[in-house]
Structure 1
């Protein structure tokens, strides 16, 4: 199992039953000694981006809705973006892992639009205090796996949990085929 670092994915294990995170895939955006922060990639909301952030709907990846990034700070928004060219870093972009980063939503959208290959906006985030995430990983609540470039920007995220597990080596891939209620198997 990999160590959690920015850019990695947390995939909820079958043992994780918290409704905020059951069958979720979380992109880690910041991990240090004080804790970790990430966004849930597979929880689209029904709220159109343009209903909340004027001008941003034209540059976000489809579907152009806000995603529920997690239970913390749901009244705030984080924008995760992918640069087209790592040498063309626009104003308001902060790298998380190579071309993947965060965009300042106060930056003028017209200065960013041509530089981004993908953008998704999340309401809220998932957060863990110092050593809390390590404890949850140790108890078997999360798998820590590498992400792929387009994971945060997929149009259809309904099977993201299964797809991420399926591409993992060994026994972890088997979990992608488990029924919702293993007792019925």
Structure 2
């Protein structure tokens, strides 16, 4: 998921990380994986918000396939009654039925696909209730106003067992001054 392109470019596979200026409770301390971004808008999932709901309780067939922790993640405030599955293929050249590539081996998996057709092709799977969506130009405007940092993603960000420190870890690995924000206090005036 990492390349040498412009890190401010909004495209599939990039992460948008909430800055302290973003006060919307849906996105405070959120790390969002962009699944689609074009002139019509952007769509992504918050990758660091596990819920207490076990996948086995709602999508039992997928319980043995999802990455630890085996819970649904709160993908965002839109469409919370539906689910999106982000999958990582073992082999990029062996995409199963129901898989739509996002970037490299990472993509979306149709949960109506029979588990037995795909389970041996997956290295990781995470299921998200809901998603984050922005209309045309909306996310670009939020980035320009300082609400989001745009950074390259890594596969491990999506399938991390404990997403608690994800914001800090994603920012810490960035070049230059952006890495300093990993240790920034909530209210710098109190520092």
Taking only aligned residues, the RMSD between alpha carbons, in angstroms, comes to 0.8
* Structure 1 outlier segments of 4+, above 4 Å: none
Instruction: Name the counterpart of 2:76.
Output: 70
Aligned position for 1:20: 26
Q: How big is each residue's C-alpha offset from its partner over 1:132-174, in whole Å with a ceiling of 9 and x where there is no partner?
A: 0010000010111100121100000000000000000111111
Separation of aligned partners in 1, 2:74 and 2:35 = 15
User: 1:59 aligns to what?
Assistant: 65
Shift of 1:65: 0.2
The answer to whether structure 1 residue 149 and structure 2 residue 155 are counterparts is yes
Q: CA deviation at 1:120?
A: 0.1
1:88 deviates by 1.0
Structure 1 residues without counterparts, runs of 5 or longer: none
**CA–CA distance in 2 between the matches of 1:181 and 1:42?**
22
How many residue pairs match? The answer is 185
TM-aligned CA deviation for residue 2 of structure 1? 1.7
> Are 2:171 and 1:171 equivalent residues in the alignment?
no
Could you say what secondary structure the match of 1:150 adopts? helix
User: 2:79 & 2:155 partners in 1: Cα distance?
Assistant: 26
Structure 1 Cα separation of the partners of residues 101 and 119 of structure 2 = 16
Residues in 2 aligned to 1:7 and 1:142: alpha-carbon distance in whole angstroms: 15
TM-score, with structure 2 as normaliser: 0.95
2:50 to 44, 47, 50: 44
Q: TM-score scaled to structure 1, two decimals?
A: 0.98
Give secondary structure in 2 for the equivalent of 1:55: helix
What is the CA deviation profile of residues 41-84 of structure 1, one whole-angstrom value per residue up to 9, with x for unaligned ones? 00000000011112101000000000000000000000000000
Write the distance in 2 (CA, Å) between the matches of 1:85 and 1:163. 27
2:142 aligns with 136
Using the alignment, how far apart are the partners of 1:127 and 1:173 within structure 2?
Answer: 27
Q: 2:16 maps to what in 1?
A: 10
Give, in angstroms, the shift of residue 117 of structure 1.
Answer: 0.5
